[in-house]
Amino acid sequence: MREINPRETTRAYAFEMWMQAPNPMVTFFKTLDVSRLVKISRERRLKFNMLMCYCIGRAASQVKEFYLLPVGDKLMQYDTIAVNTIVANSAGEVSSCDLPFNEDLGQFGSDYLRFTQQVAESCTDHDLSTESMVIGTSALAQYEIDGAVGMYSGVFNNPFMIWGKYKRGLFKTTLSVSFQFHHTQMDGGHAAKFLDRLQREIDGVKI
């Protein structure tokens, strides 16, 4: 990552407006049709959470604002994106695991299994925050929730997604997600575009 001058970017106005705001975070809620991911997960014996993380990475990689992030009082630019997942570890607690995004689903899936197993066994976080712009995720897959608003700590400004258990319907399977983002990083239009892209990535994911 490298520091850039906000005044030389399209985020200049947002930087001035939102960097000192008491709570600069915005949360969107959306219901996604995840029927295709559930089908692929069953037929190919792939983890649903891995497929979600892959689609999130693909959608985010097409929105240039995801490569920027306010860190402290600076605006940083990244060349790569990673997706974070929370892992149940061998101590009965949870650890954090950053997964480098790769366009190749096979490679991403391999990295997912390798790094999450490593984190689960070692109880040590796998952190890529100095190398990549990390999108946080938290999957509460055993619970039916309609959404969640993340707490703004003033330390981590990364975008964050939360979802619970998907819901099976007569014709489709849906998943309610929340997406929290720092207003300096992106506007509502960028966030909405990302969520629309995420749905398209889910519908079109290729194995």
Residue 127 lies in a domain: yes
Q: Is residue 31 part of a domain?
A: yes
39-62 burial, b at 16+ Cβ within 10 Å, e below that, comes to: ebbeeeebebbbbbbbbbbbbbbe
Total domains present in the chain: 1
CATH number at 168 reads 3.30.559.10
Residue 200 domain flag:
no
- Which residue segment(s) compose the domain that 174 sits in? 2-7+24-194
Query: What pTM, to 2 d.p., does this model score?
Result: 0.96
Q: Is residue 203 part of a domain?
A: no
Neighbouring C-alpha atoms within 13 Å toward the C-beta of 12: 5
Torsion-angle region of 150 (φ positive above 0: left; ψ -120 to 50: alpha; else: beta): beta
Ordered per-residue pLDDT tens for the chain, 207 residues? 999 999 999 999 999 999 989 889 999 999 999 999 999 999 999 999 999 999 999 999 999 999 999 999 999 999 999 999 999 999 999 999 999 999 999 999 999 999 999 999 999 999 999 999 999 999 999 998 888 887 777 778 999 999 999 999 989 999 999 999 999 999 999 999 999 999 999 999 988
In a domain, 15, yes or no: no
Do the domain assignments include residue 141? Answer: yes
- Which residue type is seen at 28? F
Answer yes or no: is 13 within a domain: no
Domain membership flag for residue 204: no
